[in-house]
Structure 1
Amino acid sequence: MSYTIYLVEDEENLSEALRAYMVKEGWTVKLFQDGDKAQESVEERPHLWVLDIMLPGTDGYQILKTIREVQGDIPVIFISARDQDLDRVLGLEMGSDDYISKPFLPQELIIRVKKLLTRVYGSESDENKTVDLNDYTIDSEARTVIDEQNDRQVVDLTTKEMDLILLLTLQVGKALSREDIIEEVWGENYYGSERAVDDVVRRVRKKMPRIHLETLYGYGYRILSS
């Protein structure tokens, strides 16, 4: 699959090097070296944003906030040279999907990008998997949930909500611990509380009230077929 990546990085040498590595992978890259211009493109739908925090004009935090308001399901990787722990926590709390701190090798970012793209969009070898559950049609390739009882409306889910639904519905009846869900949905670099899982579950239940998303107290969750 050919992915489109929006790269927002004001260091010219670094941005050109990263773009070259990404193009070599077969990806289409749109480069921004100014936060204001990136902010103007938030209405567009790339497959991934790679977003520096410190930028001329609008900073990365504000761009991420706007992305989450306008295109909540698009994955974002934050990059920064500032206080690593603080930026990581703030970025993850605001909705970034991964974080990498400078200095880093371009290939390190490429590895993270590949892993995130595969997690969000699936591998190229994946078959189109569609699950029909409680009058919801869940398409793992298109990353859509259709409400068949409500004029086939698309259920508006964020990236994390969609990741959770796909993880559980493609394994109906299987119990997954909070730790399992954190690793699969948030990734190995997540340092926050497991309560994040409970928050996403609560939102999914509200948006998909017919889904039988069962709580296994003290352990985790599973989805039942009926």
Structure 2
Amino acid sequence: MSSYSYTVYLVEDENNLSEVLKAYMEKEGWFVKVLDNGADALEAVKEPPHLWVLDIMLPGTDGYQILKGIREEQGDVPVIFISARDQDLDRVLGLEMGSDDYLAKPFLPQELIIRAKKLISRVYGEQSNESKKVELNDYLIDPQARIVTDEQADSSHVELTTKEMDLILLLTEDIGKALSREAIIENVWGENYFGSERAVDDVVRRVRKKMPRIHLETLYGFGYRILSS
């Protein structure tokens, strides 16, 4: 698969749709593996792709269970949820569980491509040559590799989700600078985010639990900032 730029796992049990989406994604130079049931998708969790495109309604294991497995095993691998059910409910549940984007059926294949390319670019896009590693309280943050290493724990990686990593990278771009919840939402979730600003607080809470030595300060009624000490 080295000749392909990215690997995508497409989990969809509608054969006609999966064939069309696969063809569109392959035109982008991506390797696409189609999985048509939940059991195969859960098995594939052991070998992470660059992107999951995941239908919620599947035979046997549903998309929510697969998303849980992805987050437990693969951390910050991006996920796009697709569904034809109760759209608002699925969107909210999916985002709360850690999906990165959502598409309601029916949708144009090109819309999926646009969203997938934007997500891939944000997660894997080349970083500026000026991007440097940041060390804070024995955490080594590598923006280009999107890795946080705990130097007090034998340099083990801190397992962060996409949103948790995005938050850390955003707040460490300018140590000490305060960002409002609105600014964090726009930069981490995007301008078209559908949901409550409480999502920011939830991500902050998880980051503090995973990185207890980080000085992530709350500015009540405004937002957050990271301090150097």
Aligned counterparts of 2:30 and 2:214: Cα–Cα separation in 1 = 36
Aligned counterparts of 1:166 and 1:176: Cα–Cα separation in 2 = 13
Q: Which amino acid counterpart does residue 132 of structure 1 have in structure 2?
A: E
Aligned counterparts of 1:125 and 1:207: Cα–Cα separation in 2 = 25
Q: Which amino acid counterpart does residue 36 of structure 2 have in structure 1?
A: Q
Q: Secondary structure at the match of 1:210?
A: coil
Aligned counterparts of 1:110 and 1:171: Cα–Cα separation in 2 = 32
Aligned counterparts of 1:199 and 1:6: Cα–Cα separation in 2 = 28
Q: Which amino acid counterpart does residue 132 of structure 2 have in structure 1?
A: K
Identify the residue that residue 124 of structure 1 maps to in structure 2. Answer: 126
Q: Secondary structure at the match of 1:21?
A: helix
Q: Does 1:165 align with 2:168?
A: yes
Structure 1's 73 and 125: CA in aligned 2 closer, same or farther, altered over 3 A? closer
Aligned counterparts of 1:151 and 1:98: Cα–Cα separation in 2 = 35
Q: Does 1:176 align with 2:179?
A: yes
Identify the residue that residue 193 of structure 1 maps to in structure 2. Answer: 196
Aligned counterparts of 2:127 and 2:222: Cα–Cα separation in 1 = 32
Q: Structure 1, unaligned stretches of length 5 or more?
A: none
Q: Which moved more, 1:41-50 or 1:189-198?
A: 189-198
* Alpha-carbon shift at residue 30 of structure 1 (Å): 0.8
Identify the residue that residue 147 of structure 1 maps to in structure 2. Answer: 150
Contact 1:22 1:110 in 2 (8 A): yes
Contact 2:127 2:143 in 1 (8 A): no
Q: Which moved more, 1:6-15 or 1:185-194?
A: 185-194
Aligned counterparts of 1:64 and 1:152: Cα–Cα separation in 2 = 28
Contact 2:133 2:142 in 1 (8 A): yes
Runs of 4+ in 1 over 6 A off after TM superposition: none
How big is the alpha-carbon RMSD for the aligned residues of Structure 1 and Structure 2? 1.8
**What pairs up with 1:24-103 in 2 under 5 angstroms?**
24-103=27-106
Contact 1:131 1:170 in 2 (8 A): no
Aligned counterparts of 1:50 and 1:15: Cα–Cα separation in 2 = 10
What is the TM-score when the length of structure 1 is the normalising length?
0.92
Structure 1's 125 and 132: CA in aligned 2 closer, same or farther, altered over 3 A? closer
Q: Structure 2, unaligned stretches of length 5 or more?
A: none
**What pairs up with 1:104-119 in 2 under 5 angstroms?**
104-119=107-122
Aligned counterparts of 2:45 and 2:7: Cα–Cα separation in 1 = 14
What is the TM-score when the length of structure 2 is the normalising length?
0.90
* Alpha-carbon shift at residue 112 of structure 1 (Å): 0.6
Aligned counterparts of 1:124 and 1:157: Cα–Cα separation in 2 = 20
Contact 2:126 2:144 in 1 (8 A): no
Contact 1:98 1:189 in 2 (8 A): no
Q: Which moved more, 1:67-76 or 1:3-12?
A: 67-76
Structure 1's 103 and 45: CA in aligned 2 closer, same or farther, altered over 3 A? same
Contact 2:75 2:159 in 1 (8 A): no
Q: Which amino acid counterpart does residue 79 of structure 2 have in structure 1?
A: V
- Deviation string 1:122-173 (CA, Å, 9 cap, x unpaired) is x236435322223221111211111223321211222221111011112222
Q: Which amino acid counterpart does residue 14 of structure 1 have in structure 2?
A: L
- Deviation string 1:28-49 (CA, Å, 9 cap, x unpaired) is 1111122221122111111111
May I ask how many residue pairs the two structures share in their alignment? 225
Identify the residue that residue 159 of structure 2 maps to in structure 1. Answer: 156
